[in-house]
Each structure stands twice: as structure tokens, then as C-alpha cells.
Structure 1
Amino acid sequence: MKKLRVFISGQKYFGELVLNLCNNMPFVEVVGVCAPLDDKYITKTARIFNIPVIPAGTLNADTMPDNVDVGITAHSFDYIGTRTRYKAKIGWIGYHPSLLPRHRGRSSIEWAVRMRDAVTGGTVFWLNSGIDRGDIAYQDILFIDPKLYGMEPKKAAKLLWEHHLQGLGLSLIETALTDINKGIIIKKPQHNAFSTFEPNTDVKDVFKPDLLMLERYSSKSS
């Protein structure tokens, strides 16, 4: 039986989880990984299974293996350019921890907490030239425990990711690969009228007036 040939661009623990997921799916063959060479998770695991590793920052259509069916981004900070995307026969999918088109950007979980969203979730989508703007394949929701609003937002976001959204992402990627292998391709355009994009909160000079309002509100109510 012909296997689904997968290439993963990722890093850290989530990258390793996606690699292990793919290795455990009998119809999937991981043909390569793009990751930091000193990564203790996905790179280490790839070498154990003799999977070729491309250094992070060097991925392009020339360095990517041939005959890839599906590319996956798993906590990847590498930009997947047009030629690289089209080199995968079926396309590239990625996981974003929000209900796209809401909270596009790197700090999506933290912004859901800062804005006191009652519901968040995760989305597997098809990569395109925009940031988190590709067609949606699969989504699932998650209710946010109101207790998290009283925490420092980064800590709350970390808890949401580690205890809920990370596992949700694995489940959605597993569903996507299973369907793709069966020839089921789901692509639903995002509704841009409902989109939001917030800046990376790790950048020191972020200016977001509503963020300042939220922080003042939090200090008064605590």
C-alpha cells in the first residue's frame, strides 16, 4: 500500500508530538524534518528514526525533499514560501491555537485570555501566502475556565496550551491526515469579516490600546 509521504517543519515538544503521531500512523511515512539542529525534541527523535533533518531557516523548494504529499507546520517559525508550498503535492497544513479567523498571530492564546473570551479552540488550516489566513480544514472549541482570567496572561496561556490546546491540535492533525489519506480534502474559506490579528506580546514595544485598558481593569478588580 502506498503511504502518505509527510514532511514536518517544527520545533520543541509539539513538533516531537506531531512527529511521533505520524510515526505511529501506519499509512504515513515521514520523509524529512526541518528543525533547529540543537532541538532536544523533534530533532533528537528524527535522528533516532534516521529521518533527514534540514536546519531551521534553510527550508525552501530546493532543500525540501521530492515526492512530498503533505507538509505540516508544528510550532514552526520558518516561513513556508510559495514554491515550497507548491512542492507538496496536496499542500501544507498547520495548526493554530485559536478559532480562526479570530486571533491570528503568534500570541493567540494569550490574547484570548486578555480579551476574556469565553470560548477558544484550535484550527487546522491550509497554508497560503498570508499569516494564518488559509482555508480551514478542521476546528474544535474549548471553553476557557474563568479562573484563568485572574492569572498573569502568559501563565494562563501556557496552562491552556499544555493541558488542552496542544492535545486538541494533535487530534485535529490526526483527523486531517486520516481524511487526506482517504482522498477527503476539506477547505473552507475564512470569514474575514470576523478576523482579528494581534501583535506578538513578546515584542517589547507592542502598543495595543485595548490591552492597556484590560490591564487597568484587571488591576482595579484584583
Structure 2
Amino acid sequence: MRITLVGSRHFGVTTLNMLRQHDTDIVRVVVADAEDRLATAARAAGIEVTVQASPKLVTASEIAPGTDLIVTAHSHARISKEALAAAKLGGIGYHPSLLPRHRGIAAVEWTIREGDPIAGGSIYHLADRMDAGAIAAQDWVFVKKGETARELWERALAPLGQKLLAEVIGYAKTHKTLPAKPQDEQFATNAPKLPH
């Protein structure tokens, strides 16, 4: 399984490490910032690093040739249709909510703000619309009373993302396809960035 990993920050690095433990071939890491800790970790592991021409978009030329699957981990860039077509199985990402609920950049913050007793994570197919692709895997966790968004992310949602990504990638390696269940649009909510 040849993977192009697109991402950043701590979650990008933990995803890189998880992929390496699961016997995948990470052929390229794509980052928006050459100094990001994911870029540093990839270079240290001898993996090719490509810096996006635009921080908002990943193009087909930035995806490694012969990629089976694009995996995003803490990436705020849209993966272009052409980039997805360059990978045999397209692309998947992790979103820290039970999609279609809380689509958007501040899903964990909105989970706390709305007082949701349950949070969750979704592995979804990257598609034209942000966070709107079919679901490949999903699981839930309880939210502790008084927990902050950061505490919820670190305690439960980041580890859940690693577990679900590993499961979906394992499935893809075995079956040469990805599970896909369309999102039910009637339950979609938005989670735009909150003012600080």
C-alpha cells in the first residue's frame, strides 16, 4: 500500500508513525509549511517531502506517482479532484466528529459549545465538498463534564483517529477498496471557526 500523507503538526506526526508501524509504504509527505514538525519527522525517516504551492490546495503534481491512497492528517487544504484521481483508491481523512454533524474546522470546539454528551470521529472519503464524502469508518466516545476541546481531543479524539485510520487502511490493504456509506445530509451541521 503506497501512501501519500498530507498533513501537519502533532497529529500528522502520530499518523506518520502509525502508518510506518502498519507496514505501509509512505512514498511522500505533503505539507503547507517546510518547517512543520511533520516535514521534520518525514525527513528524519528518509521520506520525500513536498511543500504545497498553495496552502489551501493540494494539486495532482504534489501527489507521488503510483500512490494507492492519499491520507490527510491535520491538513486544512482541499485535495483537488485531479489529485484524488492520481491515487488508485482516492483519499481519506479523519474528522473529529460524528459526520455529518459538525462539518468544518472547529468540530471539537462546537462539540463542547453545543454541550454534546457524545463526540466521535469519522474516517471519510475526500470529496469536492469539505467533510462531505462517504463515511469509511466511525466510532464514538463520551464527553466528560467540564472537559475543554483540547482535553477531549488529546484524551479521546486523537487516539480514536489513529485507531480508525489504522482499521480503514488495513481494510484497504486486504480488500483493495474502501468502505463507503453516504452521509445523511438532513443531519449536517456546520462548525466554522469560533471567534476567540
Task: Give the TM-score normalised by structure 1.
Answer: 0.83
Structure 1 segments unaligned to the other structure (5+ residues): 149-155, 205-222
**DSSP 3-state at the match of 1:93:** strand
- C-alpha separation in 1, matches of 2:53 and 2:165: 24
- Residue 141 of structure 1 pairs with residue 133 of structure 2: no
Match of 2:45 in 1: 49
TM-fit CA distance, 1:163: 1.3
**Partner amino acid, structure 2, of 1:48:** A
**1:185 equivalent in alignment to 2:188:** no
1:115-166: per-residue Cα shift (whole Å, max 9, x none)? 1011110000001100100000000001111222xxxxxxx10111111100
Q: CA deviation at 1:172?
A: 0.2
8 Å Cα contact 1:37/1:56 also seen in 2? no
Aligned to 1:167: 159
CA contact (8 A) 2:30 2:62 kept: no
**What displacement does 1:101 show?**
0.3
Q: Contact conserved, 1:57 with 1:78, CA < 8 A, in 2?
A: no
> Larger Cα Rg: Structure 1 or Structure 2?
1
CA RMSD of aligned residues (A): 1.2
Question: Does residue 19 of structure 1 match 2:22?
Answer: no
Spell out structure 1 runs of 4+ moving beyond 2 A. 56-59
What is the identity percentage for the equivalent residue pairs of Structure 1 and Structure 2? 34
User: Equivalences for 1:22-41 in 2 at 5 Å?
Assistant: 22-26=19-23, 28-35=24-31, 36-39=33-36, 41=37
Q: Which residue of 2 aligns with 1:100?
A: 99
Secondary structure of 1:147's counterpart equals coil
Q: CA deviation at 1:23?
A: 1.0
TM-score with structure 2 length normalisation? 0.94
1:196 corresponding residue in structure 2: 189
Cα deviation for residue 44 of structure 1 reads 1.1
The separation in 2 between residues aligned to 1:61 and 1:103, in whole angstroms, is 28
